[in-house]
Chains A and B, each alone.
Chain A
């Protein structure tokens, strides 16, 4: 029998759980835990420069690896600084465990120094939360936290740990709980066979089918199964922003992604479809546009692990509650030996779709000429080529994010890392940092904007401490571009506070941290700068590129319209 203090139990549990790296920032209420971490060397602690960055870094790691990220912060301001990152993870169903120090039990409720009711503050943005009531329950509560974070529909779990629970003087028996059971929590392990059969019959009878898949495919590791199913049927597939990479985008059956800034052919195909097979997607308002005009001729099959996602905004004709991979597997086996009822319909559907593709081909944006300012789109394309489409790509939020989604093509899941649900500016750089520290041999690129980067740029210091070689591509348009685009379109170009005045000299700023920064002002300088940026995979390089601030992101769905109602450029609309 082993007796450990609460703090040592936490350190030991993290080791036993196989957690290699955690992200955090110390403070009074967490100091016993920090001391326990100091006295061991299996779990690495990455000291960030702001707790929000700790959550984004752990989140980036979780998205890239499929495993839960871990965060450790102190009470009060430490915990409240983590809130934006917890909300970001919650909205995108990312597994994460956040350990928060808390004032000692006897002080709770007394407005003690650095006391915040963090369980209360985070209640609407967590999958679940725990408050430790006795040190002896620490191993089991932590096990439950990881179990809840990673299973079913994943999400962040907060564990509040009053300081006296970790006191070095009190020791209790420690046993690593290999398994836990929560009587009220039993995530489904397979879908309803009758419903799956019904869905398969509908697929075989469809004339204009479309697969519409989301982040659920990525989180549940169902990409391979999905690819097999889509190949087997020969249907077109579009993904959500979060689902990018869940099916190889360079494959001919991929229509790209859909929704507000999705591809023309995706939105057209959805609008005209007679069957939509949605898997691990949630009919978000950035996808559906006006739900009353959504896909008027389509029947809807909706597969999701979370029953509350089904028929939330758009009614499903065939709801299937279950994990994507097992449901898809079952679909594949039910398809064996069966054929499409209307063999001629699918080729006709593809002819229509290819027509839509051809309409927009070569018209997506106007490339810059030698000597001119670059277009953000062509920068993304150039980065795509030089990294051969194999990098982990994180983004911040804004026009650059949408351009990155449109022009970097992903053939694998877990490589496209973006804050889709919450749209958190400041996410990209710390997320890239978290990924690079865990996947040092891979190339990690962060596409950012001069607005977003300034929200989390203090992490340059963390990268310096840990030698983290991320590549930061700053698409510098000197403006909060996405805000400006909306102001151009909806407010007669009254640019209220969307202009970022007094930008720093990014080159000097980066150099102050001892890193290399390059400036690109014109078309002609790009190739050499990219060569230099990607020359050494271990080196952090910041590439500050002046891009054309007049550029808008298109297509853009017309507000309150149907899927097919889109602006296609400043002068064209559907």
Chain B
């Protein structure tokens, strides 16, 4: 099963490489990885999505917790949560397909954020599934470039991941 693990990490040099290194060292897989500072400058928040059965996920969270730079973590998929990813896509927009791109962008509630005579740059947010669907819909028209942020997430309701 796919899991989204969010980690509060000491904002120290080398901390990120410990997390990433752990995944390769122990043969765990990383599907997406997203990291940025939080409101507390001493902490970064890192979100990984990974695939694995219960035993593997248990090992992943235990080993992550063992890293001294990991302050706290949560497996968001254990409860209700909000998952978002942002994607920027350049698609071919020539002749008849220019309209079709525009229509599809509207259907997906995406936005065109840059335009040239032959290219639209589209911005879209949503869960990973929505982004995948958009890529699929655009594929026949011609995708030129994709930049995805990787998943970020937060739990629903009053539950909070903080110090």
B-binding residues in A (CB < 8 A)? 119-120, 123-124, 127-129, 131, 148, 182-185, 306-308, 311-312, 315
Contact = CB atoms under 8 A, between A and B. Distances in A.
B163 A183 contact: yes
Most chain A CB within a 10 A radius of its CB, from B10, B14, B68 = B68
A120 B62 contact: no
B149 interface: no
A128 B68 contact: yes
Contacts of A306: 66
Interface string B1-44: 00000000010011001100100010000000000000000000
B68 A308 contact: no
A550 to B, nearest CB: 40
Contacts of B66: 306-308
B87 interface: no
Nearest to B71: A184
A307 B73 CA distance: 15
Nearest to B22: A124
Contacts of B63: 308
Contacts of B62: 307-308
B110 to A, nearest CB: 39
A124 B27 CA distance: 13
A131 B13 CA distance: 9
B58 interface: yes
Contacts of B46: none
B70 interface: yes
Nearest to B70: A184
Contact of A124 (B14, B21, B70, B71): B21
Given A311-B58, A312-B59, A123 B65 contact: no
Q: How large is the interface on B (under 10, 10 to 19, 20 to 34, 35 or more residues)?
A: 20 to 34
Contacts of B72: 184
A183 B17 CA distance: 20
A311 B55 contact: yes
A307 B61 CA distance: 10
A128 to B, nearest CB: 4
Interface of B: 10, 13-14, 17-18, 21, 25, 55, 58-59, 62-63, 65-66, 68-72, 163
Given A128-B68, A307-B62, A307-B65, A123 B18 contact: yes
Contacts of A315: 55
A126 to B, nearest CB: 10
A129 B63 CA distance: 16
A127 B58 contact: no
Nearest to B63: A308
A184 B14 contact: no
B10 A120 contact: no
Given A308-B59, A311-B55, A311-B58, A182 B21 contact: no
B14 A131 contact: yes
B68 A123 contact: no
Contacts of A123: 14, 17-18, 21
B71 A183 contact: yes
28 contacts: A119-B14, A120-B17, A123-B17, A123-B18, A123-B21, A124-B21, A124-B25, A127-B68, A128-B68, A129-B14, A131-B14, A148-B68, A182-B68, A183-B71, A184-B68, A184-B69, A184-B71, A184-B72, A185-B68, A307-B62, A307-B65, A307-B66, A308-B62, A308-B63, A308-B65, A311-B55, A311-B58, A315-B55
A128 B72 CA distance: 17
Contacts of B14: 119, 123, 129, 131
A565 B103 CA distance: 68
Contacts of B18: 123
A528 B119 CA distance: 92
B21 A184 contact: no
A451 B134 CA distance: 63
A369 to B, nearest CB: 52
Contacts of A312: 59
Nearest to A157: B68
Contacts of B10: 184
Contacts of B71: 183-184
Most buried by A among B21, B63, B66: B66
Nearest to B8: A184
A182 B18 CA distance: 17
Contacts of B58: 311
B75 to A, nearest CB: 15
A340 B122 CA distance: 72
A120 B72 CA distance: 23
Residue from B10, B62, B163 with most neighbouring chain A CB atoms (10 Å):
B62
A311 B18 CA distance: 23
**Which A-B residue pairs are the 7 nearest by beta carbons?**
A308-B62, A184-B71, A128-B68, A124-B25, A307-B62, A308-B63, A123-B21
Contacts of B13: 131
Contacts of A183: 71, 163
Contacts of A311: 55, 58
A137 to B, nearest CB: 12
A183 B65 CA distance: 13
Contacts of B65: 307-308
A342 to B, nearest CB: 33
A416 B92 CA distance: 71
Given A131-B14, A183-B71, A184-B72, 13 more contacts: A119-B14, A120-B17, A123-B21, A124-B25, A127-B68, A128-B68, A129-B14, A148-B68, A184-B70, A184-B71, A308-B63, A308-B66, A312-B59
Contacts of A307: 62, 65-66
A375 B59 CA distance: 45
